[in-house]
Amino acid sequence: MNKIMEKIQMSERERENAEIAYQTAAAGMVLLENNGVLPLKEKGKIALFGTGAVRTVRGGTGSGDPFNGGLSGGGNVFVDQSPRYHIHILDAFEEGGYEVVTSADLKLLAEEYDRRKRQLENQVMHTFVFPEPLLKEEDVASAAKQSDTVIYVISRNSGEGTDRKLKGGSNDCPKGCEIGDYLLAVQEKENLLLLRRYFKYLIIVLNVGGVIDMCEIKNARPDSILLMGLAGQEGGRAVRDILNAAIVPSGKLTDTWAARYQDYPASATFADNDGNSELEKYREGIFVGYRYFDSFHKEPIYEFGYGKSYTEFSIEIKDFKEEKNIFRIECEVTNTGCYPGAEVLQLYVSACNTDIDMPAQELKAFVKTRIMEPGEKQSVRLKTTLKELEIYDEDSGSYVVKKGIYLFLAGNSSRNTQPAGKVIIDEDLLTRKADAILPLPGKLEEYHHKNCINSEDFYPELPEIKAGRCFLAPKETDAACEKQAVITYTTDPDYQGMLPYEKTEFVSPKKVVWQDVLEGKASFEELAAQMTDEELAALNCGTGWGVSDENNPVIGENSESVPGAAGETTHILTEKYGIPSVVLVDGPGGVRVRQEYEAFNLLTGKKEKRNHYCTAWPSGTLLAQSFDPKILELAGKAIAKEMKEVGAHILLAPGMNIHRDPLCGRNFEYYSEDPLVSGIMAAAFASGIQNSGFGVGACIKHFAANNQETNRSCVDEWIGQRTLREIYLRGFEIAVRDSQPLAIMTSYNLINGIPTADSYDLCTALARGEWKFNGLIMTDWNGGSSSASKSMYAGNDLIMPGGNTKVREILLAVKQMEPVFDDKGQILFSKVYEQLPFYEEYWNSFHLKADGKERCTAVLGEGHRASVEGERILVDNAPVYTEVTDRYEFLRASVKPAPIKSPLTIHMAELGKEGKEIIYYGEYDRRQTICRGDLQRCAVHILKTLQRMVCLNSERDG
């Protein structure tokens, strides 16, 4: 156990989870290079250089940072220096008994780092960057006289809202400083060459969240390179123990590391690389990551699935066989080296001689061995099914295993495999019907590649299996995307459906509460039928940013606030129906809430100091590099315990978008360039949370193709049907199939012209229709370009963070609503966000128009009177305003305009009853775009998810 931890007061849960964070961090670290310098001795003199050695980056920024205080802010900018955590490499080495000969200089560097970072207090979404200093030759020479071994730490950070660049820079840095990002800064290049010149042994630790350029690093001829990643609160301790073999490295890369950035297929157009951040065309199609590099013969620096160990392994293929359309490769793995270690076996399939484009190979399975002692052997079985060979055939609108020759390969990386056997498919095999979703709005030219071979001399020595003869294709069912009728459940026998797709079902009027549903005395639909439109809309929306008692937290009487939570569902149905509120918290890096706060104790009537010290976990990419679903499940169970402790119900994680391009600012949150890895890891993490017995759940996100942060709310991503299904949706499908997460969060972006939250195809036809998802679907916060009413029809059940604005938007789509005026006869203006000068007007269904044929009357309150002065209508001699300033106009303006504008004139209204009324001209919009049944359907999804949470909690109590 960390000695520093023993000096401060920590709960047992904190200690237990810190130990798990340490284990999971170490499991995903990848040894990229080693010429025998590693492992280090357990103690001795060592030289450390690099800002990352003394201010190690534990994780990315934004919602993926559990220590920034959450949406309420309040995170201590120096939280990483807390003795509760063991983040920094320097501290870890000194605690472990090493004499760090550069310690004094590093601590001086830390002081300057902290001085600059101090300016960022409460800037939740900001990514702090610090220019790497140029090393002084006399300091390097002095250190080299004391130790022959140096560790140079290269650190990077990124986060939500901004993509990475080839080279960085920000207002935090002095003018003229070069900031490394994908590429090294000039200071880093010179530092490496200087260290190489003076030290016998040069070890590089990459404290980075994603791919960086390796060419200039390798130019310095380092002896060893360790990809530490963003390793969470115990990262310093974990990297020390990997370097000295207290824990053996066994991670593998979940991405391809290219020789240069331009080798990535999307690099020319990614984000605003081409000057266009409005439209992103996925021309590379299915050829993402290793699928591209292997198919088009691009030589990477490090291939997908690559990673070294301190030992060596041999892999012998013993058998290849098929039974009931399940293919198995039996392997024997032997530790042939001198250290303990674990190996990851990977199964790839290459589809040849098909009549459709195919990548050179695709990952179909992986298995991690146990830790094996030198000389130890382990039998490993890799398996996949005939169905897993399917591709999406756009011509037939179905998934098909194509006629062709399938080569099965096994190995320990995508480019270090050996053939195991061949499978011959004599005819196309239909596996399932699946109509097209989200069709392209225009032409998209995609990359093409086929694996063509001469079948006669194609590995004639390999065992050959003819498969598919007994394969039973499913019956052709109703099209997945056919718009289904929506049922409105009504207690009014005279109610008539208003829209073509609306059907009605009468429900006897009776009092139904939540407990009746839980006890099986009433159905979800019966409960929803009793609710008013206003109650349904409130249930389908969050209460706004944060939680309702964010600034006035309470404890006691079975109540405890969760300051810093991302949001919650409504409280207004608790008293009448007994429906509880649900608290949602970020996120991918751990439970993100305020760590310390004062709360009012309802029992004692006094204020008390409270704390929620939650764990900062390794990033998603680092966890996935373990290639061990058990690691993800272990982390999920530990996080569930923290959720229960702080009073949170749904974790807004895991993030599982595909690493399409290494410059995506949130890649650190996500798992891989490969959908199989992403899906399996997400399912394991969600299962860990939901099988914990604490009655809490996971929300997989961002559904789908949230692959860039630049213009993330408005970018339209054109993706071909096959690419969308096989690459960007496949991981979500696996996660739903294998874990049934409580929730899915849609993304900000548009896909093929449609905001994802407004897509019936995604939310209903695909997730619920094809995949049989049975949880709730929510928007990301503010929903990007989506609209709340369209989201209701699409089946996006919960609008987050919601608030009165979204409730009103939904109601306006269901029925006509009268405008709301204040006591001066002016349209009511209400703030959208308390902290921002943005307002909304409550004209509702009435549209103010000078030539309007309809009238709407505002009655002035006692003591107020309207008058006319010239063309202007005044109340109490003051103007009456009619509209708000558009928020985007407000933000763009150098001189900020007034938040409300457009004084009322006699062209838009007249006075009545001697100035006691203002009669407005205009027209009512009586169009109904969604029905009450849409609201009920979404409400039922939310209620069923609440019931699942009760059942998950009951399993533990039982």
Q: What is the pLDDT of residues 342-362, one digit of tens each?
A: 999 999 999 999 999 999 999
Q: For 413, phi and psi rounded to 5 degrees?
A: -165, 170
The pLDDT of residue 480 is 46
CA distances from 864 to 535, 645, 842, 914 (A): 34, 54, 20, 11
Q: Enter the tokens of residue 507.
A: 């429900």
Does position 639 have pLDDT exceeding 80, yes or no?
A: yes
Cα–Cα nearest to 438, from 679, 722, 661 = 722
Instruction: In whole angstroms, give the CA distance from residue 904 to residue 902.
Output: 6
pLDDT tier, 5 (very low <50, low <70, confident <90, very high otherwise): very low
User: Which of 587-596, 855-864, 930-939 has the least mean pLDDT?
Assistant: 587-596
Does position 239 have pLDDT exceeding 70, yes or no?
A: yes
Q: Enter the tokens of residue 576.
A: 């009448």
Does position 120 have pLDDT exceeding 80, yes or no?
A: no
Q: Enter the tokens of residue 820.
A: 């709301």
**Do the Cβ atoms of 736 and 773 come closer than 8 Å?**
yes
Instruction: In whole angstroms, give the CA distance from residue 627 to residue 363.
Output: 12
The pLDDT of residue 954 is 62
Q: Side chain identity at 751, as an amino acid letter?
A: I
Does position 701 have pLDDT exceeding 60, yes or no?
A: yes
The pLDDT of residue 604 is 82
The pLDDT of residue 886 is 85
R_g of the chain computed on alpha carbons: 30
Contacts of 59 (CB under 8 A, 6+ apart): 65, 66, 209, 230, 232, 589, 616, 617, 618, 619, 668
According to DSSP, residue 273 is labeled: T
Q: What is the mean pLDDT of residues 251-275?
A: 97
Cα–Cα nearest to 847, from 865, 827, 868 = 827
Cα–Cα nearest to 682, from 727, 724, 746, 621 = 621
CATH topology of domain 1-249: Rossmann fold (3.40.50)
Does position 860 have pLDDT exceeding 70, yes or no?
A: yes
User: Which of 22-26, 143-147, 371-375, 952-956 has the least mean pLDDT?
Assistant: 952-956
Does position 147 have pLDDT exceeding 60, yes or no?
A: yes
* pLDDT higher at 1 or 177: 177
**Do the Cβ atoms of 522 and 516 come closer than 8 Å?**
yes
Instruction: In whole angstroms, give the CA distance from residue 461 to residue 564.
Output: 63
Give kind and range of the element (H or E) at residue 763: none
Does position 12 have pLDDT exceeding 80, yes or no?
A: yes
The dihedral formed by the CA atoms of 748, 752, 753 and 759, expressed in degrees to the nearest 10: -60
Q: What is the mean pLDDT of residues 750-766?
A: 98
Mean pLDDT of the chain: 92
Does position 557 have pLDDT exceeding 70, yes or no?
A: no
The pLDDT of residue 174 is 57
The pLDDT of residue 492 is 93
Q: What percent of the chain has pLDDT over 90?
A: 82
Q: What DSSP string describes 638-682?
A: HHHHHHHHHT--EE---B-----STT-TTGGGS--SSHHHHHHHH
The pLDDT of residue 906 is 97
Q: What is the mean pLDDT of residues 313-330?
A: 97
The pLDDT of residue 7 is 56
Does position 42 have pLDDT exceeding 70, yes or no?
A: yes
Instruction: In whole angstroms, give the CA distance from residue 937 to residue 934.
Output: 5
The pLDDT of residue 124 is 61
Tell me if the bond preceding 587 is cis, omega within 30° of 0. Answer: yes
Instruction: In whole angstroms, give the CA distance from residue 114 to residue 124.
Output: 17
Does position 553 have pLDDT exceeding 80, yes or no?
A: no
Does position 2 have pLDDT exceeding 60, yes or no?
A: no
Instruction: In whole angstroms, give the CA distance from residue 409 to residue 700.
Output: 31
**Helices and strands, number each (H, E), in the chain:** 24, 46
Instruction: Express each pLDDT in 711-736 by its tens digit.
Output: 999 999 999 999 999 999 999 999 99
Q: What is the mean pLDDT of residues 215-244?
A: 97
CATH superfamily of 291-467: Immunoglobulins (2.60.40.10)
User: Which of 7-11, 334-338, 554-558, 719-723 has the least mean pLDDT?
Assistant: 554-558
pLDDT tier, 289 (very low <50, low <70, confident <90, very high otherwise): very high
Q: For 119, phi and psi rounded to 5 degrees?
A: -75, -10
Cα–Cα nearest to 484, from 19, 3, 937 = 937
Strand (E) positions, 416-532?
416-425, 429-433, 464-467, 486-490, 502-506
The pLDDT of residue 4 is 44
Does position 171 have pLDDT exceeding 50, yes or no?
A: no
Does position 482 have pLDDT exceeding 60, yes or no?
A: no
CATH of the domain spanning 507-813+932-953: 3.20.20.300
Instruction: Express each pLDDT in 830-852 by its tens digit.
Output: 988 776 788 999 999 999 999 99
Q: Enter the tokens of residue 127.
A: 């990514």
The pLDDT of residue 3 is 47
- How many other C-beta atoms can be found within 10 angstroms of the C-beta atom of residue 25? 33
SS (H, E, C) 239-264: HHHHHCCCCCCCCCCCCCECCCHHHC
**Do the Cβ atoms of 256 and 295 come closer than 8 Å?**
no
Contacts of 919 (CB under 8 A, 6+ apart): 855, 856, 857, 858, 909, 910, 911, 912
Instruction: Express each pLDDT in 173-206 by its tens digit.
Output: 555 578 999 999 999 999 999 999 999 999 999 9
Q: What is the mean pLDDT of residues 124-138?
A: 88
Instruction: In whole angstroms, give the CA distance from residue 346 to residue 634.
Output: 22
Q: What is the mean pLDDT of residues 462-469?
A: 85
Cα separation of the two ends of the chain: 33
Give kind and range of the element (H or E) at residue 686: helix 675-690
The pLDDT of residue 210 is 96
Instruction: In whole angstroms, give the CA distance from residue 748 to residue 783.
Output: 6
Instruction: Express each pLDDT in 608-629 by its tens digit.
Output: 888 889 999 999 999 999 999 9
Instruction: Express each pLDDT in 513-549 by its tens digit.
Output: 999 999 999 999 999 999 999 999 999 999 887 666 6
Q: Enter the tokens of residue 338.
A: 């001198």
SS (H, E, C) 132-159: CCCCCHHHHHHHHHHCCEEEEEEECCCE
**Do the Cβ atoms of 866 and 858 come closer than 8 Å?**
no
Contacts of 883 (CB under 8 A, 6+ apart): 841, 900, 901, 902
According to DSSP, residue 200 is labeled: S
Q: Enter the tokens of residue 514.
A: 């939540």
Q: What is the mean pLDDT of residues 76-94?
A: 91
Parse the chain into domains and list their residue ranges. Answer: 1-249, 291-467, 507-813+932-953, 818-924
Q: What is the mean pLDDT of residues 282-295?
A: 98
CA distances from 728 to 295, 623, 679 (A): 19, 20, 10
pLDDT tier, 661 (very low <50, low <70, confident <90, very high otherwise): very high
User: How many CA atoms lie within 13 Å of 345's alpha carbon, on the beta-carbon side?
Assistant: 27
Instruction: In whole angstroms, give the CA distance from residue 550 to residue 567.
Output: 10
